[in-house]
Chain A
Amino acid sequence: MQIPTYELKSQIIASLKLQDITPEQIEDDAPLFGTGLGLDSIDALELVVLLEKDYGIVIKDIEEGRPAFRSVKTLAEFIAAKRTN
């Protein structure tokens, strides 16, 4: 199952309250943390909340989410994989 990345980007912008950025400006492959969007550990936790609220995916250990949080693409794949399981 494919997760539309445009929608996911809009959700990320809204839940992290990112300013001065539109979904179009976020590349699917660009890193979310560190250099790319420059997100931090609190943003990672907000992504955990987003996953639970909007996709019903519960993450109890942040390490579990880490590989998924590399980029929008990996996040979309992670959600799709969890949903088919």
Chain B
Amino acid sequence: MAGHSNLPTPTNSQRLPVITGCGIISAAGLNVAEVWRAVAAGTSGLQPLTLFESPRYGPIPTGEIRHDLVALGAPLASSRSDKLGWLAARAAVADAGINFRENGERAGIFLGTSVGGSFDSEKFLAKLIKQGKFHPRPTRFHECSSTVDLIANDFGLLGPSAAIATACSSSALAIAQAAEAIMAGDADVMLAGGVDSLSRMTWGGFHSLLLVDAEGCRPFDGGRGGMSLGEGAGILVLESEASARRRGAKILARLSGWGLSCDAYHATAPHPQGAGAATAMQNALRRAGLAPSAIDYLNAHGTGTRDNDVAEGIAMKTVFHNRVPPFSSTKRVFGHALAASGSLEAIVCIEALRRQALPPNPGFNKCDPAIGLIPVTESQPARLTHAMSNSFGFGGNNGVLIFSIPETVPQTREPKKIQFVVNGIGVIAPELVTRKEISSPLPPGNALVHSCGPLAGVEMLAPNQRRRLSRLQQMLLIAARQSHPPVAGQRVAIAIGTGLGCMEEVGLFIENLVAKDEREPMPARFPNSVHNSPAGQVAIDQAARSMNSATTMGEITFESALWQGLSQLTVGEADCVLVGAADELDKYPMSIGQRWGLWNDTVKPGEGAMVASLVAAENAAAPLARLTALKLGRCRQPFDPAREADWIAAAINLNNIGVILSGAKGYAWLDGRYEAIATALNARAGKNLEHQTYKQLCGEFHSASAFGFSQAVKLAREKNCGVLLFTMSLRGGKSLCVVEP
């Protein structure tokens, strides 16, 4: 991977990210001091599960938080994940001594999350299946983005926000992308980290994969028998050095490097030689401008599963040329908190640097000859300058972070300004309006929907490739192939969002778990429960080994994926990015939406997929269009069209715009807001911009603006003018993006 001439040059810019606050909640403690005591002592945080009954697997050791979260101050009307995230955010913000009343526009939040509100939605399902009662209230917080919106709205973060759902590497990607946001100047302060609660879904799922050690995890030990589940949240206040110095804030550590990669190998199993893991570590070192020998401590992913620990061991030996630095896994302290694990471990690294001590690896007794490495077994003082944290997830999704003491001189590279162009587009469009039945266990009914029907182009996927793929995955694989024929040697990054993921597969998986009391595991379905499963499948299909990200953010899901894809082009970590988003029709959103009065004659549920390939202009022979602006933000309350128009006008060149393509969806109150913003923009432009909408064509689904993007490219070419795609999410997020011929 080394030797690319287009790499941005090292910088000593004041935009380098530093950490000025940490907030944590976990089975090992409710604040950083408590957690460090447990980490340093190597105390297991695992206790018998009490959060829910597990008829098949029993109350085995788990990293469960047994405190009453509402009593700790968390908002009542929220999911368990929301509560954990909110508590960690409150602690992080207090630690940084920051408030966002003055500078909310310059502050954002990226959080890793993969379980979302599943724990609460499962209560709804249990009632539905076992008692026939249809009480969908707990599903209000189902989406993975719920925690991000809650924190952003509560703390007044009006800059970029997104949930990143790449399973167990989510936090690392969120922190890495937050660093990019700061480096790019899109924000001065970012809350970044991750959250996941325990849930029946992940509990039943990891058990179905036979990956859980009933005695509690023993990472890197010769007798290890799998992982232990955990839960929690960790949130960092990441801030540009200039902002921290301006505030006179205490700097806890630097984030000096971050590296992302994808195995593009298998849905769940890591690459046996840890190839992708090694690449991510090397990418992080290169980004930090550090030699492998500079790393003084490595917090390993170390889940305790046979495959992870062997592959990670090989990867460490590859990267460090057999001189592996002192390393440990702290998974037995926390349990594996999935999307939150990277953030908990980031805080372990930061504290290790601050306290100049090596954290031990509880659970380790004897060396595994297949690994041939011995972790730190007892806490010990040490001179630490740089610490590395590894996180690896389903889909071979790898994220590595390097933290350094504040006194170091950073070598991190700055992003470059690039003209992005759209090189290809693939669309699965919802062309068919049809009536669809709602099946059990939901109350019988039907709804008028926009459907993609039988998927055109499905024959390009081999039957045996298709056998375990959900409809959503198939839609995205086809769209990705249409957007981009693989080019040998090209470094391809992927950012593909989804609002609700593979709903049908997940629904069947959890229904089965609840209805049959865990009696009949469904191992082939569980890997489809993570929102990055389509992105992971596309990576395998396209041999795309650069960053692989999956975003989820309500109506601005696509734009947050687009933002992440572009970040990889600007920092020279990819030659081409495939960005897209998709959602599939499913009985649950249809039925619950009906109960909540979301659907009517004009607003119908829909589905669809879009993937666009983007490259730097100099690398495209015949681009479809240019992408000249992209911005993520959040509407301030109360709604003010003039303020929103100002926000748009400041980010784009209105002279070049001919059409506004808005996310209006057929609700009078919302469409009126879009209309008011369009009117305010007309005044600023001094001309009448054409206001068009696209949801009448595709129906309503979270990633509909991906379809909108394809319409924007079409319009820009047809009308030979700039098209502004503007979207507001019902939970406060907003985005703009400009496509020009």
Contact = CB atoms under 8 A, between A and B. Distances in A.
Interface of A: 16-20, 38, 40-43, 45-46, 48-49, 53, 59-62
A42 B527 contact: yes
A41 B208 contact: no
B522 interface: yes
23 contacts: A17-B468, A18-B467, A19-B463, A20-B463, A41-B266, A41-B268, A42-B267, A42-B523, A42-B524, A43-B524, A45-B208, A45-B210, A45-B521, A45-B523, A45-B524, A46-B524, A48-B210, A48-B523, A49-B208, A49-B521, A59-B210, A60-B210, A61-B210
Contacts of A49: 208, 520-523
B463 A42 contact: no
Nearest to B466: A19
B468 A42 contact: yes
Contacts of A40: 266, 269
Nearest to A62: B210
A48 B524 CA distance: 11
Interface of B: 208-210, 225, 266-269, 463-464, 466-468, 520-524, 527
B377 to A, nearest CB: 26
Contacts of B520: 49, 53
Nearest to A21: B464
Contacts of B225: 61
Nearest to B463: A19
Nearest to A48: B210
Contact of B467 (A17, A41, A45, A53): A17
A49 B56 CA distance: 14
Contacts of B521: 45, 49
Nearest to A19: B463
Contacts of B468: 17, 42
Contacts of A43: 524
Given A16-B524, A18-B464, 12 more contacts: A17-B468, A19-B463, A20-B463, A41-B266, A42-B209, A42-B523, A45-B521, A45-B523, A45-B524, A48-B210, A60-B210, A62-B210
Contact of B209 (A19, A38, A45, A53): A45
A41 B269 CA distance: 8
Contacts of B463: 19-20
Contacts of A45: 208-210, 521, 523-524
Contacts of A46: 523-524
B709 to A, nearest CB: 33
Contacts of B466: 19
- Give the one of B269, B464, B522 with max A CB within 10 A: B464
Nearest to B465: A19
A61 B208 CA distance: 11
Question: Which of B208, B269, B524 has its CB near the most chain A CB atoms (within 10 A)?
Answer: B524
Contacts of A61: 210, 225
Contacts of B210: 45, 48, 59-62
A19 B269 contact: no
Contacts of A41: 266, 268-269
Contacts of A59: 210
A43 B267 CA distance: 12
A10 to B, nearest CB: 16
B226 to A, nearest CB: 9
B268 A19 contact: no
A14 to B, nearest CB: 11
A59 B523 CA distance: 14
A9 B128 CA distance: 37
A61 B520 CA distance: 16
Most A Cβ at <10 Å: residue of B208, B210, B267, B527: B210
A19 B464 contact: yes
Closest 8 CB pairs of A and B: A19-B463, A45-B523, A17-B467, A62-B210, A41-B269, A19-B464, A20-B463, A42-B524
Contacts of A16: 467, 524
B145 to A, nearest CB: 28
B524 A19 contact: no
Contacts of A18: 464, 467
Nearest to B307: A41
A46 to B, nearest CB: 5
Nearest to B207: A60
A2 to B, nearest CB: 27
A75 to B, nearest CB: 17
A49 B464 CA distance: 20
Nearest to B209: A45
B420 to A, nearest CB: 37
A16 B464 CA distance: 10
B222 to A, nearest CB: 14
A5 to B, nearest CB: 21
A60 to B, nearest CB: 7
A53 to B, nearest CB: 6
A16 B267 CA distance: 16
A25 B464 CA distance: 15
Contacts of A62: 210
B523 A19 contact: no
A19 B527 contact: no
Contacts of B268: 41-42
Contacts of A19: 463-464, 466-467
B464 A20 contact: yes
A41 B211 CA distance: 12
A17 B208 CA distance: 18
Nearest to B225: A61
Nearest to B467: A17
Nearest to B266: A40
A10 B526 CA distance: 24
Nearest to A63: B306
Contacts of B208: 45, 49
A40 B726 CA distance: 44
A22 to B, nearest CB: 13
A3 to B, nearest CB: 21
Nearest to A65: B210
A69 to B, nearest CB: 13
A41 B467 CA distance: 15
A41 B268 CA distance: 9
A43 B610 CA distance: 30
B477 to A, nearest CB: 16
B214 to A, nearest CB: 8
B133 to A, nearest CB: 30
A4 B267 CA distance: 33
A49 B468 CA distance: 16
